[in-house]
Amino acid sequence: MPADRIHLVRHGEVFNPEGVLYGRLPGYRLSDSGREMAHAATDYLVADGRNVTRLICSPLQRTQESAEPWALAYGLTPVIDERVIEPTNVFEGTRMRTALRNPLNWRHLRRPSLPSWGEPFASMASRMLAAMDDAWESVDGGDVVIVSHQAPIWVAHLAVAGEKLAHDPRSRRCALSSVTSFERHGTTWREVAYAEPAPTDSAVDVGAV
């Protein structure tokens, strides 16, 4: 028996008072609000009666910290999967408003449909779907939670929906600590639910890479 359902969970708010595009940079932890958001996401599935039997997260600090409430609630040890990591981005470590004032950086925006500033959307979709396939087959029943990042989760959603992968990062439906749920029938994925269990109105860092 494979899994019953896969949940792609975005991490909580990151402590980022300087407004840096942190990408894959180390040392970016959750804010206090971010930890509360991570607990809210966990409480949502617990209250829904879901039986989570495997927990996967990206190797970055913010996703590992967001996985902690899941580990406690379900008695699981998180498994690191590099395939669900944040995409690369040439603007990593900068403040976007400042970086975009420099004409030397404009060349990185020449092909937003790729996108030209980082990892191609098609590459993100491929690695995320592969990780989801492996997670689906990795358990004997129950649900799998994968704690990941906004861009990979949204691109997985677009791929499953059969929509164009090119998009404006500001238009994503993937809030902090949101839960996007999928089921697989044969070899075909289908999105079955989306929830935003954590209040994010007061979030300072909402991120969009």
What is the tens place of the pLDDT at every residue in 159-188? 999 999 999 888 999 999 999 999 999 999
Name which of 15-24, 67-76, 104-113, 138-147 the model is least confident about.
104-113
Q: Find residue 148's DSSP bridge partners.
A: 10
Whether 32 shows a pLDDT value over 90: the answer reads: yes
pLDDT of residue 123: 98
pLDDT of residue 204: 75
The mean pLDDT of 150-159, rounded to a whole number, is 98
Contact residues for 70 (Cβ-Cβ < 8 A; gap 6+): 9, 42, 52, 55, 76, 78, 145, 147
Whether 134 shows a pLDDT value over 60: the answer reads: yes
Would you tell me the crossing angle of helices 61-74 and 32-47 to the nearest 10 degrees?
40
pLDDT of residue 184: 97
Whether 103 shows a pLDDT value over 70: the answer reads: yes
The mean pLDDT of 155-159, rounded to a whole number, is 98
Whether 10 shows a pLDDT value over 70: the answer reads: yes
pLDDT of residue 102: 86
pLDDT band at 208 (very low <50, low <70, confident <90, very high): low
Decide if 185 contacts 120 (C-beta within 8 A): no
pLDDT of residue 146: 98
- pTM for the full model? 0.94
Mean confidence (pLDDT) of the chain: 94
CA distance 177 to 13: 8
pLDDT band at 122 (very low <50, low <70, confident <90, very high): very high
Whether 68 shows a pLDDT value over 70: the answer reads: yes
pLDDT of residue 207: 67
Q: Find residue 10's DSSP bridge partners.
A: 148
pLDDT of residue 202: 75
Q: What backbone torsions phi and psi does residue 146 show, to the nearest 5 degrees?
A: -120, 115
Whether 209 shows a pLDDT value over 60: the answer reads: no
